[in-house]
C-alpha cells in the first residue's frame, strides 16, 4: 500500500526517459502526426470526388481516439513508463500505471472503428454476399473483443482508482486475467487484420481493370497485414503484465507495438483513397501541359468549354470541300465514374456537326 494518497505525493516528471521510453515517445509522436496528415489528405481526396461516406466518418472517430491514445502514451512516458525502477520515485510508480490504464482504454476503442472503416471501404466495390458476410463478422468480432478488453481493464480493480493508487480501499482480481485476455484479443486481432487485408485484395483482383493497376491497388490494401506483424511481435511481451520488477520499463514494449498496430492500420486504410488525390494532381499537371499547346480544341483534362473550330478534310472530288465542326459540352454535362479503380474518368458529352459540300454536273447539293 502506498505511504500516502497519490494526490499528496511529490510530482516527479521524467525529463530524460531511458532509451525504450524515448523510442516509445518518438514513434508515438511520429505515427500520430502521420496518421493525422494522411487522414486529412484522405478527406480532401474524397471531397474532391464527392465520395465522402460512412467509412470516412468511422476512420475519423478511430483517428480521434488514436490521438487521445498517443497523448496518454506520451504522458505515461514522462511519468515513468519505459524507465527502469532505479530512476523512479513513488509518484512515478503510481502515475505511470494511471496513464497506462488510460492508454489501454483508448487503444482498445480505436481498433474497431479503424477496422470498420476498412470494411465499409470494401463495401463500396463489392455487393457479393460472401465477402460482405465475412467483413461483417470481422466488425462484430472486433467490437466484441474491444468490449471484453474494456470491461477487463475498468473492472479488474474495484474501485478503478485502486488499479494505480493502493492507498484507497479496494481489491483487484488476479493480474493473470488481464494477461490471458490480452493473449486472446491479440490472436483475434491477428485474424481480423489478415482478413481485412486478404478480402479487399481478392475483391480488387476480380475487378475488370489493368493488371498493373490491380497489382498496385492490391499492394496498398495488403499493407494492412503489416499491422498484424506488429501484433505478432507484441505477443511475447504480454508476459510482462505479470512481472513486478521494472514493470513500467518492460510494459513500454507492449505499448510501443500497440501504437504501431493502430497507426499502420490508419495509414493502410487511408492509402487507397489517396490514389484519387494522386490522380487529381496528375490530371492537373496534364491540364497545364495541354493548355500550353494552344487555346484551340477541346480541353479534355479540365472540362472547360473549348472553341469551335473548322477542320478542312480531304476533298470528295476534285472540286469538293468538306468541313467538320465539333463543339464540346460544358463541364456540368460530364459523368464521373467513381469505382476506386483506374477507370475514374470523365465521359464527355458533345454535339458534333459535319457539313459536306460538293458539286456535280454544275449542280450544288448540301447534306
Give the whole-angstrom CA distance, residue 81 versus residue 17. Answer: 8
Share of the chain above pLDDT 70, in %: 74
Quickly state the pLDDT bin for 329 (edges 50, 70, 90): very low
**DSSP category for residue 151:** H
Residue range 72-82: mean pLDDT, rounded: 97
Domain boundaries, the chain: 6-284, 309-366
Q: What is the DSSP string of 91-118?
A: HHHHHHHHHHHHHHHHHHHHHHHHHHHH
pLDDT value at position 32? 97
- pLDDT tens-digit series, residues 219-250: 776 777 788 899 999 999 999 999 999 999 99
pLDDT digit string (tens) for 282-309? Answer: 666 655 544 544 444 333 333 333 444 4
Tens-place pLDDT, residues 24-72: 999 999 999 999 999 999 999 888 888 899 999 999 999 999 999 999 9
Determine contact, residues 124/53, Cβ cutoff 8 Å.
yes
Q: Report the CATH fold assignment for 6-284.
A: Rhopdopsin 7-helix transmembrane proteins (1.20.1070)
pLDDT digits (tens, 9 = 90+) for 121-149: 989 888 899 999 999 999 999 999 999 99
Residue 354: pLDDT band by 50, 70, 90 thresholds?
low
CA distance 80 to 70: 15
Amino acid at each position: 500500500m502506498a505511504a500516502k494518497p497519490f494526490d499528496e505525493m511529490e510530482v516527479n516528471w521524467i525529463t530524460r526517459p531511458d532509451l525504450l521510453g524515448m523510442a516509445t515517445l518518438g514513434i508515438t509522436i511520429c505515427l500520430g502526426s502521420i496518421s493525422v496528415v494522411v487522414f486529412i489528405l484522405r478527406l480532401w481526396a474524397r471531397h474532391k470526388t464527392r465520395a465522402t461516406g460512412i467509412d470516412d466518418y468511422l476512420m475519423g472517430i478511430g483517428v480521434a481516439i488514436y490521438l487521445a491514445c498517443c497523448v496518454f502514451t506520451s504522458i505515461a512516458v514522462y511519468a515513468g513508463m519505459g524507465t527502469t525502477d532505479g530512476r523512479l520515485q513513488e509518484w512515478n510508480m503510481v502515475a505511470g500505471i494511471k496513464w497506462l490504464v488510460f492508454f489501454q482504454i483508448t487503444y482498445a476503442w480505436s481498433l474497431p472503428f479503424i477496422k470498420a472503416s476498412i470494411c465499409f471501404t470494401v463495401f463500396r466495390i463489392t455487393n457479393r454476399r460472401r465477402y460482405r458476410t465475412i467483413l461483417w463478422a470481422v466488425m462484430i468480432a472486433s467490437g466484441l473483443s474491444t468490449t471484453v478488453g474494456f470491461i477487463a481493464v475498468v473492472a479488474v480493480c474495484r474501485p478503478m482508482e485502486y488499479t494505480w493508487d493502493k492507498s484507497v480501499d479496494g481489491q483487484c482480481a488476479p493480474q493473470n486475467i488481464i494477461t490471458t485476455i490480452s493473449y486472446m484479443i491479440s490472436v483475434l486481432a491477428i485474424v481480423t487484420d489478415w482478413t481485412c487485408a486478404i478480402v479487399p485484395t481478392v475483391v480488387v483482383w476480380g475487378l475488370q481493370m489493368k493488371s498493373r493497376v490491380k497489382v498496385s491497388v492490391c499492394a496498398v490494401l495488403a499493407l494492412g497485414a503489416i499491422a498484424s506483424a506488429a501484433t505478432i511481435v507484441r505477443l511475447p511481451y504480454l508476459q510482462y503484465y505479470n512481472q513486478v520488477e521494472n514493470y513500467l520499463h518492460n510494459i513500454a514494449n507492449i505499448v510501443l507495438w500497440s501504437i504501431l498496430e493502430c497507426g499502420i492500420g490508419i495509414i493502410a486504410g487511408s492509402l487507397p483513397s489517396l490514389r484519387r488525390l494522386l490522380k487529381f494532381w496528375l490530371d492537373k499537371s496534364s491540364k497545364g501541359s495541354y493548355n500550353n499547346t494552344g487555346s484551340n480544341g477541346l480541353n479534355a483534362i479540365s472540362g472547360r468549354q473549348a472553341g469551335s473550330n473548322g477542320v478542312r478534310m480531304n476533298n470528295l472530288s476534285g472540286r469538293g470541300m468538306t468541313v467538320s465542326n465539333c463543339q464540346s459540352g460544358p463541364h456540368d454535362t460530364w459523368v464521373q465514374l467513381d469505382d476506386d479503380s483506374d477507370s475514374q474518368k470523365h465521359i464527355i458529352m458533345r454535339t458534333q456537326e459535319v457539313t459536306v459540300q460538293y458539286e456535280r454536273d454544275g449542280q450544288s447539293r448540301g447534306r
